[in-house]
Structure 1
Amino acid sequence: MTIAAVLMAVGMAVLPADAQQKAANEGDRKLRIGDPAPPLKQGVYLKGEPVKGYEKGTVYVIEFWATWCAPCVKAIPHLTELQDEYGDKVVIIGQTVSERQNEKIVKSFVTKMGDRMNYRVAMDDNSEIPAGYMTASFRKASGHMALPLSVIVDQEGRVAWLGHPGGLVYGLKKIVGGSGETD
């Protein structure tokens, strides 16, 4: 254990449990709500047009998921509904993680899902970072390693919301305004 870790542990021992958790979380995070979103750097896109960067005025949802993650698979139809509802106002990207970059498995899964998974899907880029660029830049940097994880990037290219996709509809209503339907 490093000296810094010992000092942090000793210092935290006098804090209440909830304050200890908050301090630990804050110390680990490098990406917070309101920060500029890390650049998009994905590997192969398996579905939809690749997104090279954030366009001002567009909201992005980056959904971190894996084929083996039951809650992730359960969220897929909901994400499709949101993509249909918001149309061009929101770009949803299903960002695979922890697939050991096995494109064949993910591609087969996406093909089998068909229109039930009607949004962009990309593999993570692990050419420079073994765990994957998107995983390191978003999940690890934000301290949110559980799957599934939804990240909303607002119209200005800033991280506006992070959480479980079950709360995504509320985040989108707050950021985009109302539902995505037009009159």
Structure 2
Amino acid sequence: MTPAQLAVKDQVFEKLVKYQKGAPAYNFDLVDINEKKVSLKSLAGKVVVVDVWATWCGPCKAEIPHLKKLTEEMQDKEVVFVSISTDKETDKDKWKKFVADEHLDGVQLYDPSGKSVITYYKIPGIPRFMVFDKAGNIVTVDAPRPSTPGLKKLIEQYL
């Protein structure tokens, strides 16, 4: 195979196998707002909703009120909301201040410049919402946003 053919093969593999529903999710291992390590595996037993965002992202910030409402509506369910900030390393304090000032709930993780999650899932833009089942498998790596009813319906299917 030529290099171009190999590249196409890899792209097709990722879409059809690596990121498909039911495939094992990437076990991120990141620090939270208190510098404690949190991995996807440590959240096993709950549906995990991941919000990939940054403090500089207008559309990301526009989803925050909707995410807060959804988090409140589902607080007694077996679901955990994880927000992964992709702010630059130099903006880590800005991220911490934003989380505190906005009283953000859920698990707040930090992935400088998206080196871990954005790189693995090849996310072209944020915000990006992803859902993983209780066993740590992919439900979708391109979920609806909280501002639409589709995300809540999707989560409820896996509770």
TM-score by length of 2: 0.76
Deviation of 1:105 after TM superposition, in Å, equals 1.1
Counterpart in the other structure of 2:3: 4
CA contact (8 A) 2:50 2:82 kept: yes
Q: 1:104 to 1:134 in 2, by over 3 A?
A: same
Question: Which ranges of structure 1 fall in alignment gaps of 5 or more residues?
Answer: 13-22
| Cα drift, residue 101 of structure 1 | 5.5
Q: Could you tell me which of 78, 98, 104 is aligned with 1:89?
A: 78
The whole-number CA distance in structure 2 between the counterparts of 1:169 and 1:25 is 31
Identity of aligned residues (%): 22
* Shift of residue 80, structure 1, vs aligned partner: 1.0
Superimposed CA distance per residue, residues 122-149 of structure 1 (whole angstroms, 9 cap, x where no aligned partner)? 101x6xxx85222223x32xxx321000
Matches for 1:1-183 after TM superposition, within 5 Å = 3-5=2-4, 7=5, 26-27=12-13, 29=15, 30-43=18-31, 45-46=32-33, 51-52=38-39, 53-56=42-45, 58-87=46-75, 88-100=77-89, 102-114=91-103, 117-124=104-111, 131-137=114-120, 139-140=121-122, 144-163=123-142, 164-166=144-146, 169-177=149-157
CA deviation string 1:79-135 (max 9, x = no partner)? 111111111421001101142363211111112212xx22221101x6xxx852222
Pair member with larger Rg: 1
Instruction: Give 1:105's aligned amino acid.
Output: K
Query: In the aligned structure 2, how far is the partner of 1:103 from the partner of 1:120?
Result: 16
The runs of 5 or more residues in structure 2 that have no matched partner are: none
Amino acid at match of 1:165: R
Q: Structure 1 length as normaliser, TM-score? A: 0.68
Extract structure 1 runs of 4+ deviating beyond 3 A. 27-30, 49-52, 166-169
